[in-house]
Amino acid sequence: MAPPTAAAQLRTFLAKYTPAMHAQMKAAHAKMRKLVPGAVEREEAAAPASLMRRAALLLGLVLAPPLAAQREARITLSEFIYNSAPFPSAHASTIEETGGVLVAAWFGGSSEGAADVGIWLSRKIDGKWTAPVEVANGAQGDGKQLPCWNPVLFKPKAGALTLYYKVGPSPREWWGEVRTSADAGQTWSKARKLPAGILGPIKNKPVQLANGTIVSPSSTESGETPPRWRIHFERSNDRGTTWISIAPPDAADVNAIQPTILVHREGRLQALVRTQAAKIFETWSMDNGATWSPLAPTELPNPNAGIDGITLRDGRELLVFNRSETERTPLTVALSADGTSWHDVLTLEKDPGEYSYPAVIQTRDGLVHITYTWKRRRIKHVVIDPGT
């Protein structure tokens, strides 16, 4: 017996064709056009025998299980680094991973700018944070005590864990100091003052590029009244031994500080910046940080508060910031494929109060760790799975 012709097969198929199947076929057509542009049109121009193949393909699209869904970002852990400490106020945390150990630091004392404010540090060992210890203070040789500010932990690709921080009566007069640790933050070298004109990273971590160059995001606050805020970048080609300072073109109408650097492909760097203009601004470098574009506003709000971001290993950009033009709440996590279009994925805090100055890293296991100021009283640590 001869096999049924294509026409006979089609008649059998049409006899069983129902309105519900028609609706499914129309939806499948749309899906197929999206997945394989031009495929439907090519099939319609083909011989009648292809109709059965097209019907089978379309029904397969309808009945096949959906493609693997993208994994959404989610919080996997939320905790305080400490519940009690010998200081009432804490701010400006930083976090780094070294030797499989998480190390966090912040400044703590009676209040920001007070003479008793020092740099405090905790390490996460076997799933628990150690009690905070003071690793730096502003004691001077003449017996005077000055406050410390804005620690930044940074682990270069080769070399010791580095702690940058500032010492001085105010941001207008402070200077940069640095210490190193060869044992994952257990012990620290003596403080070394950075060269004149070099402040070190002001709030956010440096980035080390594929060629070994370290680019450190920095800024200054002038002695004028009111002070002018200007960003600059400190660049080292010898693993931090010497530095040169590079600034984008001056924008007289923009007061900006505390950049965070994102690393794009082909030597492109993007810095997102805190400002007094109710918006996050940005500047771009196309030559590994040797030159920078003029500052320009983004669509992201900023209540004159610190931000931090990171380029994930899958190439996406992640930013932690306050989604407000006036308040340091809510504290939001956003993702972007290009550093320009952002979509919110998580809200870390939304209640009244101050939740600010985030610091963010991605650890070896792919998870993202964020620390931030919690109402100026404690430092919070949140771990997120950034999804796919």
Kindly indicate the confidence band of residue 55, based on its pLDDT and cuts at 50, 70 and 90. very low
| Alpha helix positions (H), 45-172 | 50-63
The yes-or-no verdict on residue 191 having pLDDT over 50 is yes
**Could you tell me what percent of the chain has a pLDDT over 70?**
82
SS3 322: strand
**What whole-number distance in Å separates Cα of residue 271 and Cα of residue 288?**
12
pLDDT attached to residue 385: 98
Q: What is the DSSP letter of 312?
A: -
Residue 206: pLDDT over 50: yes
What is the pLDDT confidence band of residue 99, given thresholds at 50, 70 and 90?
very high
Instruction: Supply the pLDDT for residue 25.
Output: 53
Residue 339 Rama label (left phi>0; alpha psi -120 to 50; beta): left
d(CA 378, CA 85): 9
User: Residue 10: pLDDT band by 50, 70, 90 thresholds?
Assistant: very low
The pLDDT score that the predictor gives to residue 51 is 44
Q: How far is CA 133 from CA 87, 264, 284, in A?
A: 11, 37, 38
Give CA–CA dist 258/240, Å, rounded. Answer: 19
Q: Domains plus CATH for the chain?
A: 6-63 (no CATH), 74-385 (2.120.10.10)
pLDDT in tens, 273-331: 999 999 999 999 999 999 999 999 999 999 999 999 999 999 999 999 999 999 999 99
Buried b (16+ CB within 10 A) or exposed e, 191-214: beebeeebbbbbbbbbbbbeeebb
Share the mean pLDDT of the chain. Answer: 89
Mean pLDDT check: name the lowest of 46-60, 125-139, 180-194, 213-227: 46-60
- Of the candidates 287, 282, 236, 229, the one whose C-alpha atom is nearest the C-alpha of residue 259 is 282
Specify the DSSP element, H or E, that contains 70: none
Beta-ladder partners of 29:
none
Residue 61 pLDDT: 41
| Segment 151-163 mean pLDDT | 97
Residues 78, 380: contact at Cβ < 8 Å? yes
Q: State residue 17's pLDDT score.
A: 47
Can you give the pLDDT at residue 267? 84
pLDDT band at residue 174 under the 50/70/90 scheme: very high
Examine the pLDDT at 235 and tell me if it is beyond 60.
yes
**121, 127 in Cβ contact below 8 A?**
no
Both tokens of 195, joined, read: 């060269």
Task: Order across the sheet with 308-311: list the strands.
Answer: 308-311, 317-322, 331-336, 342-349
Return contacts of 297-302, CB within 8 angstroms, 24+ apart: 298/272, 298/340, 299/342, 300/272, 300/334, 300/342, 301/325, 302/274, 302/275, 302/277, 302/278
pLDDT at residue number 24: 56
Model-wide pTM > 0.85: no
What is the arithmetic mean of pLDDT over 67-74? 78
Q: Is residue 70 very low, low, confident or very high in pLDDT (cuts 50, 70, 90)?
A: confident
| Mean pLDDT on 78-97 | 98
Residue 20 has pLDDT above 70, yes or no: no
Please, are residues 205 and 152 in contact by the beta-carbon 8 Å criterion? Answer: yes
Q: Is the model's pLDDT at 230 over the cut of 50? A: yes
Q: Does 62 have pLDDT greater than 80?
A: no
